[in-house]
């Protein structure tokens, strides 16, 4: 079991109270890595301290055409 | 005219005919029921047909009209909806086995609005389990089949909505769209589907797939039908705090502006998550040419890299779905289709910080899209599904695993899911047929709350083309 799969195993058993076999844990670790990397890179390039999840609604209202 | 032929009329035609006394709601309902008898065994679009109840409602609508009362613009029109809109006291399965006999405690806001407008309810429609799946497969209730070719997928998750509208079993249907689930079945079945701006239509009383990305919307045969239906269901709802208080335009009254002078950006992505098949590209290019002949100024635009938007959407869906499904995933995991359950599991492993950042990124993504692909144009035109429609067998992830099948299924949403992250409106309109005779759909994407523009362009296009008039046999 590689380090990422071990981490997934720790989250499953230690934090979420769930059981998965080693093969599935490896698949989940790989899937999560892709998603996390994409969001982390996008966030690093764009987000600042003051970014608020709720700003989507205000941006939509400000940019509304009709 | 045979009674069944009434079902071939579109929504606005039948609604106006009922209002003017040229036909009745009972006749229209009987026509739809005859189409359901003929087509349900072939396409499995319905989960429940309310035959007697619908006829009773239709008789009541006719009686009200005879007494001088017209409830609204859909008075007496028969419809059916994806089986995820709650009707108080009635079973609502969400396409699942888990909720196979669950009875809804409330009525969805959108159903209440359709009731108030005079709609007759024919029943509830097949869908992907818990709205999770872009193809129309359902291991619990049977796969929904495409009316144009029953070996091919309908698109999902609003599979029954697309199939029932295409087969003229109903005049209109509600779907829902978290990653393309209105636009994909609309494209695959050759009908019109609108994913309006996030917040334009209430989600209250509808099964959630992802609270942040779910959009409720109509599937219909024409753009005009769609405009009428959206005007009925749109608007602020105290039961859904994400709904906007912006007034709802009279979409139908604003349809006839034409496209002369409008600027339309054409995007035919050759790379990325969903590389475009040449057949599909040619059909969308032909649609752009048709709009050009109507006076629109069509210019090529480049879409931004959608990878981050797509992944951010996946993070939101997986985390939110895992949270809401956790009790069932722990206690009765065997009651899910494998592919439905396993797609949610990553949500238990994604850090909360990543989920929050995905939410925080959305405003940035919107500003970037509006200032790049939409800069200087009124709408962007692009394909809905980037490849010719595959068969049910080719895309059956439950029985066929493997990276190629999973990649094909994921490819369905490559050009639709990013617009759920953005929350901006996107309309799917039929624009041709592929080499197998299956429909092709194009998307029109607009600025926030600019559904008027998309309807205007789509309506002008349908006025100059006949793809939407073809009926499966």
Catalytic annotation, pick one of B25, B92, B96, B157: B157
Question: B16: exposed, middle or buried (C-beta count within 10 Å: 0-12, 13-18, 19+)?
Answer: middle
Closest Cα in chain B, distance from residue A39 (Å): 6
Does the structure show a pLDDT above 50 at B451?
yes
CA pair distance B172, B433, nearest whole angstrom: 22
CATH number at residue B166: 3.90.1300.10
Say yes or no for a CB contact (<8 Å) between A56 and B423. yes
B145 lies in some domain: yes
Mean pLDDT of the B132-155 span: 97
Q: Tell whether the model's pLDDT for residue B3 goes beyond 80.
A: no
Cβ contact, residue pair A53, B366, below 8 Å: no
| Edge-to-edge strand ranges of the sheet holding B297-300 | B172-177, B215-220, B192-195, B426-433, B439-445, B379-383, B263-266, B297-300
Chain B: which residues have CB within 8 Å of chain A? 197-199, 242, 244, 246, 249, 307-308, 311-312, 314-315, 318, 330, 345-346, 348-351, 354, 356-364, 366-367, 370, 423-424, 446-453
B462 close to B429: Cβ distance less than 8 angstroms: yes
pLDDT recorded at residue A32: 97
Residue B279 distance to chain A (closest CA, Å): 31
Q: How far apart are CA B221 and CA B190, in angstroms?
A: 8
Residues ≥6 apart with Cβ < 8 Å to B448: A59, A60, A61, A63, A64, A65, B197, B366, B423, B424, B425
Annotated active-site residue in B158, B159, B181, B202? B181
B227 neighbors B425 (Cβ within 8 angstroms): no
What pLDDT shows up at residue B404? 84
Q: pLDDT tier at B173 (50, 70, 90 boundaries)? A: very high
- Residue A51 is nearest to which of B351, B360, B453, comparing CB atoms? B360
Q: What is the pLDDT of residues B195-217, one digit of tens each?
A: 999 999 999 999 999 999 999 99
Closest CA–CA distance from residue A34 to any residue of chain B (Å): 8
In a domain, B49, yes or no: no
Is B375 domain-assigned?
yes
Q: Structural domain of residue B372, as residue ranges?
A: 82-469
d(CA B129, CA B257): 40
pLDDT of B2? 54
Known active-site residue B82: yes
Task: Verify whether the Cβ–Cβ distance A43 to B197 is below 8 Å.
Answer: no
Among B312-326, B390-404, B444-458, the range scoring the smallest mean pLDDT is B390-404
Tell me the sheet residues that pair with B380.
B265, B445
Nearest to B363 among A18, A24, A56 (CB): A56
The stretches of B235-306 forming alpha helices (DSSP H) are 278-293
Token pair 């993070």: residue: B315
Q: Given the structure tokens 């500003």, which residue do they identify? A: B367
Measure the CA–CA gap between B285 and B266, rounded to whole angstroms.
Answer: 8
Give me the domain span that covers residue A8: 3-63
Taking the C-alpha atoms of residue B460 and residue B152, their distance in angstroms, rounded to an integer, is: 30
Tokens of B357: 């950042």
B80 three-class SS: strand
Interface of A with B in 47-66 (CB under 8 A): 47, 51-53, 55-61, 63-66
In angstroms, the CA B161 to CA B146 distance is 11
- Give pLDDT, residue B1: 45
Q: Minimal CA–CA distance to B258: which of B212, B214, B295?
A: B295
Residue B360 is classified by DSSP as H
Q: Taking CB atoms and an 8 Å cutoff, what residues of chain B touch A20? A: 345
Dihedral through CA A11, CA A17, CA A23, CA A29, nearest 10? -30
**Residue B109, both tokens:** 């806001």
Contacts 24+ apart (CB under 8 A), B371-375: B372/B302, B372/B304, B373/B265, B373/B267, B373/B301, B373/B302, B373/B303, B373/B304, B374/B265, B374/B301, B374/B445, B374/B447
CB B182 within 8 A of CB B193: yes
% pLDDT > 90, chain B: 94
Cβ pair A12:B330 closer than 8 A: no
- Interval B112-134 mean pLDDT: 98
Overall average pLDDT of the B119-135 stretch? 98
Quote the pLDDT of residue B270: 84
- Selected residue with higher pLDDT from B403 and B365: B365
B267 DSSP 8-state letter = -
Q: Please give the Cα distance from A28 to A40 (Å, whole number).
A: 18
Instruction: Give B172's strand partners.
Output: B220
Which of A16, A32, A49, A61 best tests the B interface by mutation, with the highest count of B CBs <10 A? Answer: A32
B25 catalytic per annotation: no
Cβ distance of A28 and B318 shorter than 8 Å: no
Whether residue B318 has pLDDT greater than 70: yes
Instruction: Give per-residue pLDDT as tens, A25-65.
Output: 999 999 999 999 999 999 999 999 999 999 999 999 999 97
Q: Pick the residue of A53, A58, A61 with the most B CBs within 10 A to test the interface with B by mutation.
A: A53
Q: How far is A2 from chain B (nearest CA, A)?
A: 16
Cβ–Cβ gap A32/B350 under 8 Å: yes
Query: How many domains are there within chain B?
Result: 1
DSSP B236: -
- Would you say residue B356 has pLDDT above 90? yes
Taking CB atoms within 8 Å and a gap of at least 24, the contacts of B341-347 are: B343/B132, B343/B318, B344/B132, B344/B318, B345/A20, B345/A24, B345/A28, B345/B318, B346/A28, B346/A31, B346/A32, B346/A35, B346/B318, B346/B322, B347/B317, B347/B318, B347/B319, B347/B320, B347/B321, B347/B322, B347/B323
pLDDT in tens, B241-273: 999 999 999 999 999 999 999 999 999 998 777
**Is 50 exceeded by the pLDDT of residue B296?**
yes
Has residue B157 got a pLDDT over 70?
A: yes
- Tens of pLDDT, residue by residue over B7-29, are 999 999 999 999 999 999 999 99
User: What value does the mean pLDDT take over residues B286-297?
Assistant: 98
Query: Who has greater pLDDT, B4 or B374?
Result: B374
Comparing C-alpha atoms, which of B35, B131, B41 is closest to residue B80? Answer: B35
Enumerate the residues of chain B whose CB falls inside 8 A of the CB of residue A30.
none
Domain count for chain A: 1
- B90: confidence class by pLDDT, cuts 50, 70, 90: very high
Distance CA B436, CA B438 (A): 6
Q: Tens digits of per-residue pLDDT, B59-76?
A: 999 999 999 999 999 999
């Amino acid at each position: 079991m590689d380090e990422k799969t071990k981490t997934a195993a720790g989250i499953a058993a230690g934090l979420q109270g769930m059981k998965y076999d080693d093969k599935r844990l490896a698949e989940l670790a790989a899937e999560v890595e892709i998603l996390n990397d994409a969001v982390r890179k996008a966030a690093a390039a764009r987000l600042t301290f003051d970014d608020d999840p709720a700003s989507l609604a205000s941006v939509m209202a400000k940019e509304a055409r009709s | 005219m045979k009674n069944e032929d009434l079902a071939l009329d579109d929504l606005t035609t039948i609604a106006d005919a009922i209002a003017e006394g040229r036909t009745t709601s009972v006749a229209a309902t009987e026509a739809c029921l005859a189409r359901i008898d003929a087509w349900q065994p072939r396409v499995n679009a319905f989960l429940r047909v309310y035959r007697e109840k619908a006829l009773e409602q239709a008789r009541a609508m006719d009686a009200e009209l005879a007494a001088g009362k017209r409830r609204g613009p859909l008075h007496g029109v028969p419809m059916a909806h994806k089986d995820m809109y709650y009707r108080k006291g009635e079973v609502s399965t969400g396409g699942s086995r888990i909720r196979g006999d669950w009875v809804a405690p409330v009525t969805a806001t959108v159903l209440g609005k359709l009731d108030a407008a005079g709609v007759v309810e024919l029943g509830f429609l097949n869908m992907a389990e818990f709205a999770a799946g872009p193809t129309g497969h359902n291991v619990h209730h049977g796969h929904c089949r495409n009316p144009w070719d029953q070996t091919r997928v309908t698109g999902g998750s609003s599979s029954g909505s697309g199939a029932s509208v295409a087969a003229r079993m109903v005049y209109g249907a509600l779907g829902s769209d978290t990653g393309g689930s209105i636009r994909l079945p609309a494209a695959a079945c050759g009908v019109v589907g609108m994913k309006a701006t996030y917040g334009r239509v209430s989600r209250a009383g509808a099964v959630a797939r992802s609270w942040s990305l779910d959009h409720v919307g109509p599937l219909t045969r024409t753009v005009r039908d769609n405009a009428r239906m959206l005007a009925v269901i749109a608007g602020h709802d105290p039961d859904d705090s994400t709904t906007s208080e912006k007034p709802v335009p009279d979409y139908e009254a604003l349809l006839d502006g034409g496209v002369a002078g409008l600027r339309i950006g054409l995007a035919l992505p050759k790379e990325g998550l969903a590389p475009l098949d040449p057949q599909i590209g040619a059909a969308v290019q032909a649609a752009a040419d048709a709009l050009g002949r109507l006076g629109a100024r069509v210019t090529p635009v480049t879409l931004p890299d959608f990878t981050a938007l797509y992944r951010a959407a996946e993070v939101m869906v997986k985390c939110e779905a895992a949270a809401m499904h956790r009790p069932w995933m722990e206690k009765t995991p065997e009651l899910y289709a494998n592919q439905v359950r396993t797609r949610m599991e990553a949500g238990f492993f994604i850090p909360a910080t990543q989920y929050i950042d995905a939410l925080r990124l959305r405003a940035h993504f919107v500003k970037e899209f509006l200032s790049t692909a939409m800069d200087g144009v009124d709408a962007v035109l692009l394909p809905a599904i980037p490849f010719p429609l595959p068969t049910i067998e080719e895309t059956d992830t439950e029985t066929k695993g493997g990276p190629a099948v999973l990649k094909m299924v994921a490819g369905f949403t490559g050009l639709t899911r990013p617009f759920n992250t953005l929350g901006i409106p996107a309309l799917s309109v039929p624009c041709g047929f592929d080499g197998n005779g299956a429909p092709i759909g194009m998307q029109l994407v607009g600025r926030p709350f600019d559904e008027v523009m998309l309807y205007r362009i789509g309506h002008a296009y349908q006025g100059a083309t006949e793809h939407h008039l073809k009926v499966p046999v």
